[in-house]
Structure 1
Amino acid sequence: MSAPAKKLGPKGGAGKKGFAGKKGGVGTKKGKGAAAQVTETNLKHRGLFSKDLKFIMYGYGDTATPYKETVDLVEDIVVEYVSALAHKAMAGAAGKGGRMLPEDLLYLLRKDPHKFARAQELLRMNEEIQAAKKVYDDDEKLLPEDF
């Protein structure tokens, strides 16, 4: 006997799986995704990151001038993700005195090796920049005011 044929959805996809190929993944109708939720936080920050996002999108293969709607959608998704991540980090920090530290974010990113490595790299770069600023400020204080 042969195996039963797989049922295909209206667009040729199998069943109700999301674009990522997992149930409940990106693109499913299960719950509201970040793209469907436009919160008050998103509206306050709308357009704040659009210039940077255009360059990032271009770097990842989009056109040099993407549609405004596309940039707005990506911005909404990014703001929603960062807000959710910050809320989770604050909830985790509440038991430790309520102050969120970089380690709280690293803890949340620990299962995603790419994001975790990038976050560690950014923290190291920040430390180097702070050290360089301190050296520069110390050198500036040593110079005589009048020549």
Structure 2
Amino acid sequence: MSACWGLLATFAMLAVTGPDMAAKLVVPVYSLTKMISILNFIQNIDVFYIPLWLLGAFIKLAIGLFILSYGLAEWSGYRHWKRIAGALTVAWLGYVLYSAQIVQLSFPFRSAWLTDVFYPALYIAIPLLLWIVGSLRKRRQALD
């Protein structure tokens, strides 16, 4: 459901502002809520949108933190996944507080290296590698 709403918001943003302006905005969907004006009566719907947006972001971050900490605990054999979650939370909070003061740390994610190398590896190569390893492990267990 979250992906569907994100896709619809992306299409709406591209339809309203165009690809050039949307690419230059830091948070394009938030900017979209400020541009909506219906007969000068309904304006600035960001009052309704932002709390829902923050709630959705909090839920996504909480689920991601749980999956990451529980997966790391299972992978490493460490029994206390809540301690891993606490350590990750402190590390992420430190990064966010530090990077909020230095604006240049926010923009490396748009570099060509990340979009041409890192993201394809993250979304294609790593799942493919995990699938191959899982298949080999199944095959080896079937032979034993």
TM-score, L = length of structure 2:
0.31
Structure holding more helix per residue? 2
Greater relative contact order (CA < 8 Å, ≥ 6 in sequence): 1
TM-score (norm 1): 0.31
Larger radius of gyration: 1
